[in-house]
Structure 1
Amino acid sequence: MCHGEIAVKKVLAALVVSAALTGTAFAQAKIQVGCTATSDCASAMVAVDEGIFRRHGLVVEMTPIGINSNIPAAILSNSIQIGGPTSTVFLQAVDGGLDLVAIAGATVMSPVSNGNITAFVRNGITIKEPKDFVGKKVGAPGLNAFLHVLFVKWLVEKGVDPKSVNFVEVTFPTMADIIKSGGVDAVLTAEPFVTRMTNAGLGSVGARYAVELARTDPIIFYAASREWADKNAAAIKKFRDAIAESAVIVNNDREKASNSISKFTKQPIELVKATPPNRSEPVLKPEQLSWWIEVMSSQKMLQSKLDTSKLVLK
């Protein structure tokens, strides 16, 4: 064999190895899943920690996002490929022209999870009825996000003009410090932050507004850009299968779920264990978004008429 033939064979062999490695790298491309510091993405947290994603052939990493309303932009910039936006943030982003699609369910409202949601009021502020929020400065973990829109819905049902309340954005991890400093009069929050602030003597629960609304609609679900979803159909199938498997653990194994939630949210494990995680429901149906669209339209948050059949990936 001449030197030329040997050189060609070496080049071909190198190309074969390179192609194989590239194929492996592509198949194992890391998927970043972005969520805020709540238990709503517990199914993804558990799927990472328990190796469920890995068993389904995916390499997934969780990325903390401070404010839920920042998730759509993070998806579009490709800093994350999958995000956990609240129903309201997702719908407003789509209404604004962002081509996002829901790919799997995360959490839904339930009697238990509704009880975890409160308007927590700092010391020195008295709230006895809805109208007492008039003129108050209220922090929300994302304007037009889940807790904010629900609270506005509750105010309207109680005959209070939401415009009479001064809303500002406050991230979950900073709520205790802002309440303590008097930077806001109240925050719209959920467990385990409620218990943590109560135990620290920072204030008290002013209203359990989600209990009074008594809904069972989606809180948060997993979403991606439609372009990414179209190009990664196989990965999405694996993601859905992994989330379905993980949801069973979230709903039935408090120990494993609490450990994963504590790890991601940086909340003390004792507090997390004291609060049942929101119910994980991996299947999301288009009609489940109808109530949210109705509420948001009534609050003039949507400019177009959204077609629910196009919002959830089949």
Structure 2
Amino acid sequence: MNRLMATAVLAAMSFASAANAQTRIQIGCTATTDCASAMIAVDEGIFKKHGLDAEMILIGINSNIPAAILSNSIQIGGPTSTVFLQAVDGGLDLVAVAGATIMNPVSNANITAFVRNGLTIKEPKDFVGKKVGAPGLGAFLHVLFVKWLVEKGVDPKSVNFVEVTFPTMADIIKSGGVDVVLAAEPFISRMTNAGLGTVGARYAAELNRTEPVIFYAASREWAEKNPEIVKKFRAAIAEAAPIVNNDREKSAAAIAKFTKQSIDLVKASPPNQSEPVLKSEQLAWWIDIMSSQKMLQGTIDLNKVMLK
């Protein structure tokens, strides 16, 4: 009897270990507040509560996230709306699994074109001929800035865009490697406090939009093979979102830990608004903007890229 019981216990332990291995996921995001709901879900044990062993992985450039998903370096990523749509348009079989953040007046005001010392930007045409660093060409901040330039009558082709990661912006702006960086908090406060330059334009506030910034995505193959994991992930994100929006202490602690920014700097501005529910119609505006910027070659069926 004892031998049988021991065998049963070992079998149960083996089964449990296999189950735990199957529920382990890695979530990739850049060093912004937009994946704060996943950060909170990790730090507050919400993922574990829902049966997931989740780990956050820092990705330098947002446009690298789709490739990381398809290579299985991460199972779920937080691409910007623009990076996701361009990847899908390019033939990558990705699906949206949950919402992360949306634009709102508060977060829009925290997005700027930050100008290095020695330059003065007074109006949109002053960006002509400047070298502008964006955290991913074709990513959220870049596409919004191009949209703003067009609305202000400035040809985006007259601006020299290069890719610059969020963590390296301060050093690059200080060295004069670029004239301007397209940044968000807490990086703007960090550069301002260091005396590296000034805000040249709050372009997102002027556009005043409410569409999704970032959402969580996965490969279609992985998502369809793991519906229970997706269900648990969604439940955890839905539970974490109100904490992001209403508890500054917990959200700031989680963001500071993941982005490796000081807690005081993170607390200086609220995180972007977390919205776990994503609707296909919310991406229609992005498709119109990207099509006008000739970033999309085909037609995207939003109903097919939204995982049911």
Matched, 1:303 2:297: yes
1:202 to 196, 202, 207: 196
Distance 2:159 2:244 in 1: 36
Distance 1:215 1:26 in 2: 45
Matched, 1:112 2:115: no
1:145-184 equivalences in 2 (<5 Å): 145-184=139-178
- Give the C-alpha shift of residue 275 in structure 1: 0.7
Q: Secondary structure at the match of 2:251?
A: helix
Matched, 1:269 2:269: no
Instruction: Specify the alignment match of 1:5 in structure 2.
Output: none
Instruction: Specify the alignment match of 1:61 in structure 2.
Output: 55
Letter of the 1:256 partner, please give it: K
- Give the C-alpha shift of residue 18 in structure 1: 6.8
Distance 1:273 1:128 in 2: 29
Q: Secondary structure at the match of 2:100?
A: strand
Matched, 1:294 2:256: no
Distance 1:271 1:186 in 2: 21
Distance 1:77 1:154 in 2: 34
1:263-292 Cα shifts (integer Å, max 9, x gaps): 000011001011100000000011111000
Q: Which runs of 5+ in 2 are unaligned?
A: none
- Give the C-alpha shift of residue 262 in structure 1: 0.2
When Rg is computed on C-alpha atoms for both structures, the one with the higher figure is: 1
Letter of the 2:285 partner, please give it: W
- Give the C-alpha shift of residue 40 in structure 1: 0.3
Matched, 1:231 2:233: no
- Give the C-alpha shift of residue 312 in structure 1: 1.0
Pick closer, same or farther for the CA change 1:269–1:22 going to 2, 3 Å.
same
Q: Secondary structure at the match of 1:135?
A: coil
Letter of the 1:154 partner, please give it: W
- Give the C-alpha shift of residue 235 in structure 1: 0.7
Distance 2:78 2:10 in 1: 35
1:25 to 14, 17, 29: 17
Q: Which runs of 5+ in 1 are unaligned?
A: 1-8
Instruction: Specify the alignment match of 2:120 in structure 1.
Output: 126
1:234-245 equivalences in 2 (<5 Å): 234-245=228-239
Q: Secondary structure at the match of 1:97?
A: coil
Q: Secondary structure at the match of 1:101?
A: strand
Q: Give the superposed CA RMSD.
A: 1.5
- Give the C-alpha shift of residue 28 in structure 1: 1.6
Q: Secondary structure at the match of 1:28?
A: helix
1:102-146 Cα shifts (integer Å, max 9, x gaps): 000000000000000000000011110101000000000000000
Distance 1:267 1:281 in 2: 23
TM-score relative to the length of structure 2 = 0.96
Q: Secondary structure at the match of 2:241?
A: helix
- Give the C-alpha shift of residue 84 in structure 1: 0.3
1:137-186 Cα shifts (integer Å, max 9, x gaps): 00000000000000000001111110100000000000000000000000
Amino-acid identity (%): 79
Distance 1:23 1:301 in 2: 48
Pick closer, same or farther for the CA change 1:91–1:210 going to 2, 3 Å.
same
